[in-house]
Structure 1
Amino acid sequence: MSAITTSTTGAGERFAGAGFGTRLSEAMAARGPLCVGIDPHVGLLQRWGLPDDARGVREFSLRVVEAVAGQVAAVKPQSAFFERYGSAGMAALEETIAACRAADLLCVVDAKRGDIGTTMDGYADAFLGKDSTLAGDAVTLSPYLGFETLRPAIDAALATGRGVFVLALTSNPEGAQVQHALADGVPVAALIARQAAAANAVEIEAGAPLGSIGLVVGATVGSAARHLGVDLGAVRGPLLAPGVGAQGGGAAQIRDVFAEALGAVLPSSSRDVLRAGPDAGDLLAAAQAINEELRHAVAG
């Protein structure tokens, strides 16, 4: 069993000082740009010899954190793989987030939340609230009820030193139906990027290297940003790029998609790291190899 012991209390104590964009920029400079996805789906649990239950997910996730802490920029636990086990699974997610905090490892909770009114207030409290045990360093959000419906989460992130990643150009084929569509003559993805840039303005004007309001842009979307007029460089926030490795994204794809915004890219890889487990040394070796390739890619 993992040697990591965690506490889920005092979640807000860490977030006095620099905003998420600044802390992420520092982590990427020091440890390389890689974000390791923590996706404990059934196939990987079986591969690691772990049970398909909350205990297995907890053990899987804590082993990943223990293996890569101090060696990569961030990790990204996928909330769905914890939620499927109910309250015990959510407790495992809380422990994973607490383990990241204890290891000084940035944690992006991949929850893709988005709603309106008091419901969005609730999601903001859960994933970005000062003392919430479900709050990592950032959370992914869906803007497709309108970008401004995310305002409670954006305000909470900025108030607590956390960040958000807003879905903008995803690599799944169905995403184009919404993201490439025109709203008042402008592609939806371009509007989302412009609104994220506006939300970052105060931090950038104050001298932050990156704002804390980022976008999710798939590593395999090719020329979509250029063709749609999505100015990724103008966002001045972090760009989470899932799809590295097994999904086809590599150094060449990263350079093609992000061009002038390479310094803001947080590439995410899950399967190419996780299938190297369960041995901690093998996990770390896989992460380091990918991280080194990506370090050269984002250097331009």
Structure 2
Amino acid sequence: MFGTRLAEAMAEHGPLCVGIDPHEHLLESWGLPVSAAGVREFALRAVEELSGTVAAIKPQSAFFEQFGSAGVAALEETLAAAREAGILTVLDIKRGDIGSTMGAYAKAYLDPASALAADSITVSPYLGFGALEPAFELAAAHGRGVFVLALTSNPEGREVQHAQGTHGAVAGTIVSQVAARNSRALAAADGSDAESPAADGHAATMGPFGLVVGATIGEAARELGIDPADCGGPILAPGVGAQGAGIRELRAVFGDRALASGQVLATASRAVLAAGPQGMAEAARDLNRALSEFN
């Protein structure tokens, strides 16, 4: 199960996930062309240097897709290299659609037969949470994970995520829905009829389905009456490092519960990649050490 594999990777390598975001300025600072070939070299070098250093990497699909078929081929190679190196992948695609279209997305990114298959993906629930069912089903069938956008750091997201419905904020409903799917997944895995992933609310065993909660949202979750730890799975927290989040900000967002239970996978990109190909591994180790206060 993905939650177990991720927990083991975080226990061994720390709570850091490095985003593979080959921005134009980063390619240039590495002396690489702004092209599919440059993106390929950038990403493969990052996988090589970060192997054995971090729990996971998070390739941002858009930076590959912008170069067409050659860029997508570079993404396929990056995912394959990560598998070979034993690094878990979170493919940041934020897909969300309905019916057979969502099913096709799920096959593209979660079916082991696909060259684009990752260990986990990000998805958007804003065409209706139930529309994501094909992704949950295929992920469960193949031991993969799904991270659902819940509380993102962009200001525009608030008008939907913070909106109040009959059962509270929209983001809170997403947390509850993810928790329900984790309960079923864990019950199926161990044959129990447990109603929650862990009786004390902690991720003693993490489910395969998680949330995306920005590390820079401050006290928004608390103000909305939401505890992201209730999802019972991993929480992807982008925004660490160059975007301004550190331990203090993570505690403001999550409190001690999610951090102490090992649910938070903190994501940084520029803070590591800007160190260049020779320095990124040490930058990742330094950031992991700084995040060691989680426990």
TM-score (norm 1): 0.91
Post-superposition offset of 1:294? 1.1
Q: Deviations over 1:92-135 (max 9, x none)?
A: 00000000000000010000000001110110000111311111
What residue number does 2:104 align with?
122
Amino acid at match of 1:27: A
Q: Which moved more, 1:208-217 or 1:26-35?
A: 208-217
What residue number does 2:292 align with?
295
What residue number does 1:195 align with?
177
What residue number does 2:282 align with?
285
Unaligned runs of 5+ in 1: 1-18
Amino acid at match of 2:120: A
What residue number does 2:201 align with?
none
Structure 2: distance between partners of 1:119 and 1:81 = 22
3-state SS of 2:277 partner = coil
Q: CA RMSD in A?
A: 1.1
Query: Would the aligned equivalents of 1:204 and 1:236 in 2 still touch at CA under 8 Å?
Result: no
Structure 2: distance between partners of 1:115 and 1:203 = 22
1:152 and 2:149 correspond: no
Query: Would the aligned equivalents of 1:169 and 1:217 in 2 still touch at CA under 8 Å?
Result: yes
Query: Would the aligned equivalents of 1:116 and 1:149 in 2 still touch at CA under 8 Å?
Result: yes
Structure 2: distance between partners of 1:277 and 1:88 = 24
User: Identity of aligned pairs, percent?
Assistant: 59
What residue number does 1:269 align with?
268
Listed as ranges, the matches of 1:49-198 within 5 Å are 49-198=31-180
Q: Deviations over 1:145-192 (max 9, x none)?
A: 011100000111010010010000001111111100012251000000
3-state SS of 2:89 partner = strand
Post-superposition offset of 1:197? 0.2
Structure 2: distance between partners of 1:76 and 1:130 = 18
Listed as ranges, the matches of 1:212-231 within 5 Å are 212-231=208-227
From 249, 252, 258, the equivalent of 2:248 is 252
Query: Would the aligned equivalents of 1:100 and 1:106 in 2 still touch at CA under 8 Å?
Result: yes
Post-superposition offset of 1:74? 0.2
Unaligned runs of 5+ in 2: 191-196, 198-203
The count of residues paired between Structure 1 and Structure 2 equals 278
Amino acid at match of 1:88: A
TM-score (norm 2): 0.92
Post-superposition offset of 1:257? 1.0
Structure 2: distance between partners of 1:154 and 1:228 = 26
- Deviating 4+ runs (over 6 angstroms): none
1:35 and 2:17 correspond: yes
